[in-house]
Amino acid sequence: MDLSTTIAGVRFPSCLMNAAGARCVTREELEALGRSHAGAIVTKSMTVEPRQGNPEPRYHGFPGGSINSMGLPNLGYRAYAQLIPELRKFKKPVMASIAGFSDEDFVTIAKAINESRPDLVEVNLSCPNIPGEPQIGYDANSSERLLKRVRKVVSVPMGVKLPPYFDPAHQEKMVRVLERVGVDFLSLINSVGNGLVVDPDKECVVIKPKGGFGGLGGALIKPVALANVRAFWKLFGGRLPIIGTGGVVTGADAFEHLLCGASAVQIGTTLVEEGLGTFERLEKELAAVLEKKGYASPSACRGALREL
């Protein structure tokens, strides 16, 4: 079974890859992704300066999902700009995810990273776990202003990682922004922000930052992720490639993302919990589902979800 896919003219040997943030901070983690069955190497969302991130414990897995408030721990864009050319030896696409605390941060990072020639750049408008910092992706005007500036300095395919939207009006407004900017792909969705998980035995929250509030991931957010993938697929008329993220635990979950309109699927919580072997397992499971359904490739079922 051929599980390859193409996004913005870039061929991926597999439609399954890591989500930015999952086992992709250090050189060792990025090289391990290169040696794995992952279809790409997606970097941690990088900031101008290196960051240690929020105090620990800042990640907690539980039945049905995870909660985290990592606080963008990363090596800083200069380190990733040096690493990206070296990662090409693995012969799979490198996607650089960029973040910042101001428009200037994004532009500074984008310029330098573009010069290091990743295959794609993902602009993260949706990091929900920086105390005191709002998610840019919920402000359409700020998003448009920022993306127009970044678009001018990025010559490789550029996509946007968005937060979950819960109202069709917000999705429609963001589509108009993205059309005016001219992006090449979407990553949907980042974690569902501002959740709270409680340990009833200890009568305590399970992570330290922000009083226990954090972003939710894993199986419990799949319906939200699928809804956003489907909504944006329909609003763009299937013209814009989408990378679906959220709730992928099995090959059947990945298949659901493809049905809703995704061209590829990223893995977060399951990768953190299970390790790099998750890609090989999901490949086998997805291939089995596609074969059983009579689809020759991921693209054959993309967007084919039936409505009643």
The pairing of beta strand 158-162 with beta strand 16-18: unpaired
User: Do 102 and 257 form a contact (C-beta atoms < 8 A)?
Assistant: no
Q: How far apart are CA 304 and CA 82, in angstroms?
A: 41
Straight-line distance from the first to the last Cα atom of the chain, in angstroms, rounded to the nearest whole number: 30
Q: How far apart are CA 207 and CA 217, in angstroms?
A: 14
Catalytic position from the list 15, 127, 260, 301: 127
Q: Which residues pair with 198 in a beta bridge?
A: 205
Give the C-alpha separation, 105 to 116, whole Å. 17
Q: How many CB atoms lie within 10 A of CB 237?
A: 8
The backbone torsions φ and ψ at residue 227, rounded to the nearest 5 degrees and listed phi first, read -65, -40
Cβ burial, residue 192 (10 Å; 0-12/13-18/19+): buried
DSSP summary character for residue 2: -
3 state SS of 163: coil
219: number of Cβ within 10 Å: 18
Catalytic residue status for 24: no
CA angle 50, 74, 208 (to 5 degrees): 105
The crossing angle, in degrees rounded to 10, of helices 277-293 and 251-260 is 60
Neighbours of 90 (CB within 10 A): 17
State the catalytic residues.
Answer: 127
